[in-house]
Amino acid sequence: MYADTISAIATPLGEGGIGIVRISGPDADQIASRIFRRGRSLRPVDVAQLESHRLYYGYVVDPRDERVVDEVLLARMAAPRSYTREDVVEISCHGGPLVVREVLRLTLAAGARQAEPGEFTLRAFLNGRIDLAQAEAVMAVVSARTPDSLDLAVGELRGRMVGRLGPAREALIEALAYLDASADFPEDEVPPLDLTGTLARAEAALDEVVAGARLGLLYREGVQIAIVGRPNVGKSSLLNTLLRAERAIVTDIAGTTRDVIAESINLQGIPATLIDTAGIADTEDIIERMGIDRSRRALDTAGLAIFVLDGSMPPTPDDFRVAELLQRRVASDGHDRLVLVLNKRDLPDRHDHDEIRALLPGAPVVEVSTRTGEGIAQLEATLAEALIARAAEGAAPALVTLRQQQALTRALESIRQARAALDAEIPLDLVAVDVRDALLAVGEITGEQVSETILDEIFARFCIGK
Ligand code: GDP
Ligand code: ZN
């Protein structure tokens, strides 16, 4: 347990009437007693005598002159039944951001120390209430962008990661136990083990976590989708339809979409940023050319490209040029990064399906009308499907931070080395070194093995008050 008591504003500052000041540590009750009063007569209260996990109505005063700062609700959460497992007092203020700051100042004047970013969560971790993956999930919960990414973060918060790593951990421990025993005891006394098979099992289990992590990243970080095509096929209209709002400029004059316009949507739970690019076509217009350069760059960074064609006419030479550019830029690592959209379905169908399909072989084709909305739901489903298929081959999404990802990679490397050493008939005590490294790396993910510096790094990224 920590010697000092920390305090911070636990709610975002700004809008909203209510703000919570959270105090945690051995002096939490005492500090709260200094500034909390009850009843019209502002009678002093020994907060330590208040019932745990109950709300008490009262006032926060400045103890120097008993001036009332705010009308508040106070809750005391006695250790260990609190967020940090320490004594916690939470004061809910009603008076707006300035008042919340004033209440915080009073707790500091009464002996608390301003909490560092993430320090409450750090204490929860150090006091054994949550594991490291859960602590990091707290941050993900706070910054989730769609309900699905929130669900994912909450799942991690409930300790899903430890369970997910279980099979790999078990296999590694089994292998290590066997290797250690082989070093210490004569061969006939050690129960036999299929070492290669056990290590392969550990590797497969970690591979699955990695695949899930890619999918989790998609829900959490989102993706950029570039909308490309020659002028006038309906890119801006499509963007608007997908946004269901009139944001991008729609016009009848070809080539007037000069800026790349980016907007975010919730694509079946995936946060997707749509980028409307200027038409990619031959032109002498310098300004338009700048727009085109920008769309080429947008293409390079996008996770997926929507190639829009005007289905009411046969493909033009410009359409073929765009298709060619897409072939070179996007399709180089597979057609799963492309979706072809035939727009203006409300107009007479004047295209040859085989010819369209031949433009980008393998890419899904969806026919839509941005004017009537026909096919748009189908397009959304196709986009989400393409993104998910690309991210993970059937794995359940996992939430994995960069640090965890690195530890996973190291664990996998060590396992592969151990397997190679085994194949090369290198002495078993050397194989054991790699297996031990792998186990250490797996332990790092949930915080069984972490150094001070890693901890500092992780918790410095939290908002203060969390
Ligand atoms: P962009 O240059 O590719 O961004 O194309 P715009 O979105 O500016 O649209 C070009 C023209 O096609 C505009 O006159 C739109 O009203 C029209 N348009 C877009 N989508 C449709 C559609 O589904 N049906 C019809 N009939 N016209 C459309
Ligand atoms: Zn058709």
Helix axis angle for 317-329 and 286-301, nearest 10°, is 40
Question: Which pLDDT does position 222 carry in this prediction?
Answer: 77
Give 254 Cα–ligand 1 centroid separation in angstroms: 10
Host domain of residue 198: 147-216+401-459
- How far is Cα 160 from Cα 137, in angstroms, rounded to an integer? 10
For ligand 1, atom 9, the nearest C-alpha belongs to 234
Is 130 within the bounds of a domain?
A: no
Q: Which of 74, 100, 115 is the last residue of a domain?
A: 115
Question: At 423, which CATH number?
Answer: 1.20.120.430
Report the nearest atom of ligand 1 relative to the CA of 347: 26
pLDDT per residue, tens digit, the chain (466 aa), is 457 899 998 876 555 557 889 999 999 999 999 999 999 899 999 999 999 989 899 999 999 999 999 999 899 999 988 988 899 999 998 877 788 889 999 999 999 998 877 788 777 877 776 666 666 666 665 555 666 666 666 566 556 677 778 888 888 888 888 887 787 777 766 677 889 999 999 999 998 887 777 777 777 777 888 888 888 899 888 988 888 743 444 444 444 444 445 667 888 878 888 877 654 444 444 444 545 565 555 555 567 889 999 999 999 988 888 888 777 765 555 545 789 999 999 998 877 888 888 888 888 999 999 999 999 989 998 998 888 876 665 555 555 666 777 888 899 999 999 999 999 988 888 899 999 899 888 888 776 655 555 555 555 555 555 5
Question: Which pLDDT does position 421 carry in this prediction?
Answer: 93
How many other C-beta atoms can be found within 10 angstroms of the C-beta atom of residue 331? 18
Is the domain of 240 the same as that of 380? yes
**In three state form, how does the secondary structure of the chain look?**
CCCCCEEEECCCCCCCCCEEEEEECCCHHHHHHHHEEECCCCEECCHHHCCCCCEEEEEEEECCCCEEEEEEEEEEECCCCCCCCCCEEEEEECCCHHHHHHHHHHHHHCCCEECCECHHHHHHHHCCCCCHHHHHHHHHHHHCCCHHHHHHHHHHHCCHHHHHHHHHHHHHHHHHHHHHHHHHCCHHHCCCCCHHHHHHHHHHHHHHHHHHHHHHHHHHHCEEEEEECCCCCCHHHHHHHHHCCCCCCCCCCCCCCCCCEEEEEEECCEEEEEEECCCCCCCCCHHHHHHHHHHHHHHHHCCEEEEEEECCCCCCHHHHHHHHHHHHHCHHHCHHHEEEEEECCCCCCCCCHHHHHHHCCCCCEEECCCCCCCCHHHHHHHHHHHHHHHHCCCCCCCCCCHHHHHHHHHHHHHHHHHHHHHHCCCCHHHHHHHHHHHHHHHHHHHCCCCCHHHHHHHHHCCCECC
Overall domain count for the chain: 3
User: Could you tell me which residues are beta bridge partners of residue 272?
Assistant: 223, 265
Residue 235 assigned to a binding site: yes
Is 464 within the bounds of a domain?
A: no
Is 232 within the bounds of a domain?
A: yes
Report the nearest atom of ligand 1 relative to the CA of 370: 23
Residue 255 assigned to a binding site: yes
Report the nearest atom of ligand 1 relative to the CA of 254: 2
Q: pTM for the full model?
A: 0.54
- Cβ-based neighbours of 296, under 8 Å, separated by 6 or more: 280, 325, 329
Is the domain of 159 the same as that of 272? no
Give 395 Cα–ligand 2 centroid separation in angstroms: 35
Question: Could you give phi then psi for residue 305, rounded to 5 degrees?
Answer: -125, 135
Residue 233 assigned to a binding site: yes
Is the domain of 52 the same as that of 164? no
Give 362 Cα–ligand 2 centroid separation in angstroms: 17
Is 201 within the bounds of a domain?
A: yes
- How far is Cα 219 from Cα 396, in angstroms, rounded to an integer? 12
The sheet carrying 365-367 orders its strands as: 261-267, 270-276, 223-228, 304-310, 338-343, 365-367
Give 275 Cα–ligand 1 centroid separation in angstroms: 16
- Tell me the CA end-to-end span of the chain in Å, nearest whole number: 18
Is the domain of 251 the same as that of 354? yes
For ligand 1, atom 14, the nearest C-alpha belongs to 252
Q: Which of 392, 416, 431 is the last residue of a domain?
A: 392
Question: At 38, which CATH number?
Answer: 3.30.1360.120
Q: Residue 314 CA: which ligand is closest?
A: 2
For ligand 1, atom 27, the nearest C-alpha belongs to 344
Is the domain of 248 the same as that of 181? no
Greatest pairwise CA separation for the chain in angstroms: 86
Give 93 Cα–ligand 1 centroid separation in angstroms: 53
Tokens for 243, please give them: 């946004």
Q: Which of 369, 392, 415 is the last residue of a domain?
A: 392
Is 286 within the bounds of a domain?
A: yes
Is the domain of 309 the same as that of 343? yes
Report the nearest atom of ligand 1 relative to the CA of 255: 2
Is the domain of 330 the same as that of 440? no
> Which residues fall inside 5 Å of ion ligand 2, going by CB?
349
Is the domain of 318 the same as that of 383? yes
Report the nearest atom of ligand 1 relative to the CA of 252: 14
How many other C-beta atoms can be found within 10 angstroms of the C-beta atom of residue 80? 13
- How far is Cα 240 from Cα 465, in angstroms, rounded to an integer? 39
- How far is Cα 375 from Cα 379, in angstroms, rounded to an integer? 6
Is 441 within the bounds of a domain?
A: yes
427: cis peptide before it, omega within 30°?
Answer: no
Q: Residue 257 in contact with residue 234, Cβ under 8 Å?
A: no
Is the domain of 200 the same as that of 232? no
For ligand 1, atom 12, the nearest C-alpha belongs to 234
Q: Residue 459 in contact with residue 116, Cβ under 8 Å?
A: yes
- Mutation to probe ligand 1, out of 227, 232, 306 (largest number of atoms < 8 A from CB): 232
Q: Residue 360 in contact with residue 326, Cβ under 8 Å?
A: yes
- Alpha-carbon distances, residue 184 vs 187, 188, 190 (angstroms): 9, 12, 9
Give 312 Cα–ligand 2 centroid separation in angstroms: 9
The CB-based long-range contact list for 418-424 (8 Å cut-off, 24+ gap) reads: 418/175, 418/199, 419/196, 419/199, 419/200, 419/203, 422/195, 422/196, 422/199, 423/196
Is the domain of 346 the same as that of 307? yes
- Alpha-carbon distances, residue 210 vs 110, 306, 454 (angstroms): 48, 27, 21
Give 232 Cα–ligand 1 centroid separation in angstroms: 6
Residues with CB under 6 A from ligand 1: 229, 231-237, 250-252, 257, 279, 343-344, 346-347, 369-371
Give 262 Cα–ligand 2 centroid separation in angstroms: 29
Residue 22 assigned to a binding site: yes
Is the domain of 265 the same as that of 347? yes
Give 234 Cα–ligand 1 centroid separation in angstroms: 4
ipTM reported for the complex, 2 dp: 0.97
- Mutation to probe ligand 1, out of 227, 230, 237 (largest number of atoms < 8 A from CB): 237
For ligand 1, atom 21, the nearest C-alpha belongs to 344
Is 137 within the bounds of a domain?
A: no
For ligand 1, atom 15, the nearest C-alpha belongs to 234
For ligand 1, atom 19, the nearest C-alpha belongs to 234
Residue 256 assigned to a binding site: yes
Question: Which pLDDT does position 24 carry in this prediction?
Answer: 96
Residue 311 assigned to a binding site: no
Is 128 within the bounds of a domain?
A: no
Question: Could you give phi then psi for residue 450, rounded to 5 degrees?
Answer: -140, 145
Is the domain of 211 the same as that of 227? no
Question: Which pLDDT does position 405 carry in this prediction?
Answer: 77
Residue 367 assigned to a binding site: no
Residue 276 assigned to a binding site: yes
Residue 214 assigned to a binding site: no
Question: Which pLDDT does position 438 carry in this prediction?
Answer: 92
Question: At 362, which CATH number?
Answer: 3.40.50.300
